[in-house]
Amino acid sequence: MSSKVRLYLDQPLAGGQTLALDAEAANYLFAVMRLRPGAQVVVFNGRDGEWLTEVSAAGRRDGALAVRAQVRPQTTVPDLWLLFAPLKKARTDFVVEKAVELGVGRILPVVTDFTNAERMNRDRLQAHAREASEQCGALGVPQVAPLRPLFAVLSEWDAGRPLWFCDEALAGQGPAPAGDRPAGSCAGAVLVGPEGGFSAAERARLRALPFARPIALGPRILRAETAAVAALVLWQATCGDWR
Amino acid sequence: MSSKVRLYLDQPLAGGQTLALDAEAANYLFAVMRLRPGAQVVVFNGRDGEWLTEVSAAGRRDGALAVRAQVRPQTTVPDLWLLFAPLKKARTDFVVEKAVELGVGRILPVVTDFTNAERMNRDRLQAHAREASEQCGALGVPQVAPLRPLFAVLSEWDAGRPLWFCDEALAGQGPAPAGDRPAGSCAGAVLVGPEGGFSAAERARLRALPFARPIALGPRILRAETAAVAALVLWQATCGDWR
């Protein structure tokens, strides 16, 4: 892994360009990371691949990067979404960070019957997703959607996107998720409930949805964030880009 | 999931017994959890299953539990070990917690060429493993071994225990781990390197070991603790008790 600073910039990227930096980017590169003119920075925007740039101007509130050469072309990522009920702050941050590393394209926080956190700072989570993308070498940043009630999201669901929901009521039973997994699908989503799981009413409604299928995650009770990671890993290994 | 307090006790468990509590357990149950005589506590010892007990005496430095009935018999767990290079404190704690949830039987911290943390508080990690077992409903507590050099541990390795090592040099390449997985094995181990991965010399030595096989974990760079969870999930789903 490169030790160069990696930066997400929402600007078109192409060779020969000069990229203007806003105050936030300038503060990060020049005050926090202490880069000076001539230093190399790797940038990506989620559309044009990854580019090597060089600091051409470094100010307190602005600066510029000269685009040198493309390092990696943009690649397509699996069309995988994560729906999860917000947890305590550190565990929510963890879920977002791991979702980015595991190639989730869209993060949808949802309110369920047993969700404890009714509020969520979406801007903070979006910034956390961006930092995780910069760190893990991803070529895009997943969008964090506004917090909405679970069944409001599911009422508008595209039935072509299978939804795996982690059903703790299956703990201790077979079958393993393998038997339940659709083969060869290219769009998908994983739904993880809060620490207390889903209510009986929610579970009944979920089971009645044609695009939803319960998955089992072994005989032990997993914490919500562990279930999220486990389900995403299994999805990537069977339907995604870990195959 | 029961909301009763769950406690690991290293004492034989059988119906009709009275269990004496030491100062640590008494402090936890009566000062921290504020239980009073008559309160129910679920206990396990890693050998005799899970038992319902009732507080029969509650002191400041001691106390007693009357064993009522067995809740669950002891079950066998997959014979899965985790070898990992200690990370920063919070991430090491995380790895231990997730290893417990994912059914690891033995946790072996190892020093590798790029390991940053040369010291490790084994007692603290063992206590963390115990708390994680109490929380996740496990019927045993994995042992945390002393920190040792990786190849000292591997020089005494039982060749009948396949070792999957997470090889970040495979990131971006196939094949997915599925193709590499031994089928039907009942003993196994997962090895995860530190944030910087394995050195070239280590990778060469690992690849030369007949019981070791590299596994790939998708095209993105995973943080060490994410790689640990991902590899354990894949092992449980293919060789362990998630099948």
- Contact pairs from chain A to chain B, CB under 8 Å: 105
Task: CATH 2.40.240.20 in chain A: give the residue spans.
Answer: 5-72
Name the closest residue on chain B to residue A75, using Cα atoms: B219
Give the H/E segment covering residue A152. helix A150-155
Task: CATH 3.40.1280.10 in chain B: give the residue spans.
Answer: 79-239
Chain-chain contact of B177 with A222 (C-beta, under 8 angstroms): no
Q: Looking at residue A6, what is its pLDDT?
A: 94
Interface of A with B in 180-239 (CB under 8 A): 196-197, 216-223, 226, 229-230, 233-234, 236-237
B229 and A102 in contact (C-beta within 8 Å)?
A: no
Q: Residue B167: pLDDT above 70?
A: yes
Identity of the residue in A196, A220, A241 whose CB atom sits nearest the CB atom of B137 = A220
CA distance A45 to A71: 13
Q: Nearest-CA neighbor of B138 among B99, B173, B196, B178?
A: B99
Q: Rounded to two decimals, what is the model's pTM?
A: 0.87
Name the closest residue on chain B to residue A215, using Cα atoms: B242
Strand partners, B41: B5, B53
CA angle, A146 then A152 then A155, to 5°: 130
Residue to substitute from A233, A238, A243, interface B, most B β-carbons within 10 A: A233
Contacts with A137 from chain B: Cβ below 8 Å: 220-221
Give the H/E segment covering residue A148. strand A148-149
Q: Looking at residue A178, what is its pLDDT?
A: 42
Average pLDDT over residues B190-218: 92
Identity of the residue in A220, A230, A241 whose CB atom sits nearest the CB atom of B233 = A230
Q: Looking at residue A243, what is its pLDDT?
A: 74
Average pLDDT over residues A8-12: 94
CA angle, A15 then A106 then A212, to 5°: 145
Average pLDDT over residues A91-97: 93
Chain-chain contact of A174 with B216 (C-beta, under 8 angstroms): no
Identity of the residue in B136, B168, B223 whose CB atom sits nearest the CB atom of A220 = B136
Q: Nearest-CA neighbor of A226 among B6, B188, B228?
A: B228
Interface of A with B in 106-145 (CB under 8 A): 135-138
**Residue whose pair of structure tokens reads 């072996």 in the numeric block:** B108
Identity of the residue in B98, B197, B217 whose CB atom sits nearest the CB atom of A242 = B217
Q: Looking at residue B117, what is its pLDDT?
A: 73
pLDDT digits (tens, 9 = 90+) for A217-232: 988 889 999 999 999 9
Count CA atoms closer than 13 A to B127's CA, side-chain side: 6
CA distance A213 to A200: 15
The answer to whether B42 faces chain A, any CB pair under 8 Å, is: no
Q: Residue B185: pLDDT above 90?
A: no
Peptide bond into B219 cis (omega under 30): no
Confidence of residue B77 (pLDDT cuts 50, 70, 90): confident
Name the closest residue on chain A to residue B175, using Cα atoms: A243
Confidence of residue A174 (pLDDT cuts 50, 70, 90): very low
Distance from CA of A61 to the nearest CA of B (A): 32
Q: Which residues contact A192 (CB under 8 A, 6 or more apart)?
A: A82, A83, A84, A85, A95, A165, A166, A224, A227, A228, A231
Residue to substitute from A44, A89, A101, A114, interface B, most B β-carbons within 10 A: A101
Chain-chain contact of A226 with B102 (C-beta, under 8 angstroms): yes
* Ordered alpha helix ranges (H), chain B: 23-26, 89-101, 122-136, 150-155, 200-208, 224-238
Q: Which residues contact B129 (CB under 8 A, 6 or more apart)?
A: B96, B97, B99, B100, B107, B141, B142, B144
Chain-chain contact of A233 with B229 (C-beta, under 8 angstroms): yes
As its CATH architecture, domain A79-239 has 3-Layer(aba) Sandwich (3.40)
List the structure tokens of A150: 């679970």
Contacts with A174 from chain B: Cβ below 8 Å: 243
Distance from CA of A105 to the nearest CA of B (A): 13
Distance from CA of A48 to the nearest CA of B (A): 17
| Residue ranges of E strands in chain B | 5-8, 18-21, 40-44, 50-58, 63-72, 79-84, 106-111, 143-144, 148-149, 163-166, 187-192, 212-215
Residue to substitute from A220, A225, A243, interface B, most B β-carbons within 10 A: A220
Distance from CA of A124 to the nearest CA of B (A): 21
Whole-number mean pLDDT of chain A? 89
Confidence of residue A172 (pLDDT cuts 50, 70, 90): low
Q: Looking at residue A55, what is its pLDDT?
A: 96
Topology annotation, domain A5-72:
Ribosomal Protein L25; Chain P (2.40.240)
Start-to-end Cα distance in chain A: 22
pLDDT digits (tens, 9 = 90+) for B99-149: 999 999 999 999 999 988 767 899 999 999 999 999 888 899 999 999 999
